[in-house]
Structure 1
Amino acid sequence: MDSTTHSAEDSRRRELGAFLRSRRERLTPSATGISTGLRRRTPGLRREEVAMIAGVGTTWYTWLEQGRDVRPSAEVLTALSRALRLDTAEQRHLFILAGRPQRERRVDAPEKVDSPLLHMLQSLVLQPAYVLGRRWDVLAWNSAAAAVFGDYGLLEGDARNIVHMVFTSPQHRRLLVDWEELARAVLASFRAESARYVGDPDFERLIALMTRSSPEFRAWWPLRDVARNLSGVKHVRHPIAGAMAFEHMSLSIDDGSDMKLIVYTPLAEQNSIAKLEQLLETLPAERRSA
């Protein structure tokens, strides 16, 4: 290990210890149900009290706060998060400082696109864009997306899923130039992102459905190819406008929801900008956005 790496790890451990200490010092004994009976010289909990609540050794916890080379497990970090009453952002920060991946928790509540994101989506007048959920379901879209890719409002359930559309929709297959290359890229990116949800019933059901419905999916999924395609160029063959070219970018929504915004920018080639403008002029009002 070189000195630079060693120094970086030392700094991370010191920051981890300082973060734990700051959370401990802000927490009052009464908030955790500890009865002291005596006036304290310093605010917050003592180290031995945090250790007791979390179920770890006092000496070990002291070393952790001192920035020593101890490596807490995910289970211990979770116990410390509960003991210190950390919120979601603080717990995520703790796991990052400790160098541990945080386990994904299944979210049962329906995914919701908040108003600020919807407003931004609608402001992208000449850029087809849509919001994807954690399973790549299309949750919201703008008028330009409806004009180029079709009316998502006509699709329900699994049919409004990007993987489902790419592999089972004849219309979508005709729309995409170089379909096989794009389909393989979509599958590899979906597998990479779905690794955080292995065993999730909604993901498992979609994968089972795709395996039954698409021979290409059935053949390629077992190959376990993975990729992270955040940007690129997509060529489409629109049934009305003809050939068009777009540069696309995937932008993560940093709110813990695992949603992402996909934006397509029309390129000068194939006269794509003018063609998109014409499509928007003729788009029926009821198909413009959702």
Structure 2
Amino acid sequence: MISVMDAKVLNEDTRRRELADFLRSRRERLTPEDAGLPQGVRRRTPGLRREEVALLAGVGATWYTWLEQGRDVRPSAEVLSAIARALKLDPDERQHLFRLSDRPPPGMRPSGPETVPDALLRMLESMDRQPAYVLGRRWDILAWNRAAAAVFGDYDQLQGDARNIMHMVFANPDHRRKVVDWEIMAPIALANFRADSVRFAGDPDFERLIAFLRATSSEFEVLWSRHEVSSAVAGFKRIDQPDVGRMVFEYTRLAVLDHSDLKLVIYTPMQEGDTAEKLDRLLRLL
């Protein structure tokens, strides 16, 4: 029987072998011309030599050889970035390199306006019995379906920061009145937001929103000062909808893999409170 410690060692050995094979395959696909090096004498094997990769990355040739041999060496994030540049890895390959090295890839801070892919918009439209919306990197609501507007209100009426989830939770009294278990849900939402926002520390849009909420909401200020974080992505939410009464939903938050800063949030009606029937009534009112 394999112990937990033995399993961990086996996993690390497998990862190091995968890393070694990956580095070797990326090195062998490059020519000296690709890397800006002179062709030199005829080569017996394809691709760059290990010594050339080490030179381009600014690391020792022996150390890089150990890395390709699957030895237990632990490159820093800076060294991995240098190797990625030397091997001309694309973004997917670069992320794979960091994962194989058991290190989180350095965040590339996005900027500019966010867009929702057409395929995701069509998915939203097809979900006529499940309220759903798409969140951006700052938890701004970028797109939503009819069911979400029926339950939570017309997001078209909210502009700028007002269409942000944190703003709605802590600075929108109408939204707060709809959330039955606000005292439970608000800390969870903020802890999730804080965990997501760490990649954007110093971003002026984040800083402005957080400063406004800290000054406007004493509850936000207290919760923010606790520095609590959470990765919870699912749960239950009870809504007091003015037109039909109490509704109960199971919600889940999904990452959009090819647009890593987007999140799809889906609310599934529960049997409790005849929520599905109430949702149908709301949709007929639109």
> Same fold judged by TM-score > 0.5?
yes
Which residue of the partner structure matches residue 61 of structure 2? 58
Equivalent residue, structure 2, for 1:287: none
Q: Distance in 1 between matches of 2:189 and 2:285?
A: 30
In the alignment, which of 198, 203, 226 is matched to residue 200 of structure 1? Answer: 203
Q: Distance in 2 between matches of 1:220 and 1:262?
A: 23
Alpha-carbon shift at residue 103 of structure 1 (Å): 1.6
For 1:11 and 1:205, the matched residues in 2 are separated by 45
Tell me, yes or no, if structure 1 residue 176 matches structure 2 residue 179: yes
Distance 2:190 2:222 in 1: 11
Quote the residue 2:29 is aligned against: 26
Aligned mates of 2:229, 2:5 — CA distance in 1: 31
Q: Superposition pairs for residues 124-139 of structure 1, below 5 Å?
A: 124-139=127-142
**Structure 1 residue 219 displacement after superposition:** 1.5
1:260 aligned partner: 263
The answer on 1:279 being equivalent to 2:282 is: yes
Question: Could you tell me how far 1:266 is from its partner in structure 2?
Answer: 0.7
Structure 1 position 6, deviation (Å) = 1.2
Shift of residue 256, structure 1, vs aligned partner: 4.4
Residue 102 in structure 1 maps to residue 105 in structure 2: yes
CA distance in 1, matches of 2:83, 2:159: 43
User: 1:126 is paired with a residue of what secondary structure?
Assistant: coil
Q: Distance in 2 between matches of 1:64 and 1:169?
A: 54
Matched position secondary structure for 2:37: coil
User: Is 1:69 aligned to residue 72 of structure 2?
Assistant: yes
Tell me the TM-score normalized by structure 1: 0.95
* Residues 1:231 and 2:234 are matched in the alignment: yes
Q: Give the drift of 1:282.
A: 1.3
**Deviation at residue 200 of structure 1 after TM alignment:** 2.2
For residues 67 and 231 of structure 1, what CA distance do their matches in structure 2 show? 39
Q: Which amino acid aligns with 2:175?
A: H
- The correspondence for 1:119, drawn from 119, 122, 125, is 122
Residue identity opposite 2:274 in structure 1:
N
Higher relative contact order (CA 8 A, sep 6+): 1
- Structure 2 residue 72 is the aligned partner of structure 1 residue 78: no
SS across alignment from 2:260: coil
Mapped to 2, the partners of 1:265 and 1:224 lie a distance apart of 30
1:2 aligns with 2:12: no
User: 3-state DSSP class of the match of 1:228?
Assistant: coil
Given that 2:109 and 2:199 are in contact with CA atoms closer than 8 Å, whether structure 1 keeps it comes out as: no
Root-mean-square deviation (Å): 1.2
Equivalent residue for 2:222? 219
Whole-angstrom CA distance in 1 between matches of 2:248 and 2:259? 32
SS of aligned partner of 2:265: strand
What do residues 80-117 of structure 1 show as CA deviations (whole Å, max 9, x unaligned)?
A: 11111111110000001101111212111321110111
Shift of 1:69: 0.8
Where does residue 248 of structure 2 map in the other structure?
245
Q: Which moved more, 1:193-202 or 1:260-269?
A: 193-202
In 2, Cα distance between the equivalents of 1:211 and 1:50? 49
Is 2:160 the partner of 1:161? no
Q: Unaligned 5+ residue runs, structure 1?
A: 284-290
Match of 1:286 in 2: none
- What does the per-residue CA deviation read over 1:159-205, in whole Å, with 9 as the maximum and x for residues that have no partner? 11101101010110111101111111111111122222222222222
Residue range with higher mean Cα deviation, 196-205 or 38-47:
196-205
Q: Match of 1:16?
A: 19
TM-score (norm 2): 0.96
C-alpha distance in 2 between matches for 1:83 and 1:30: 12
In structure 1, how many angstroms separate the alpha carbons of the residues matched to 2:254 and 2:5? Answer: 35
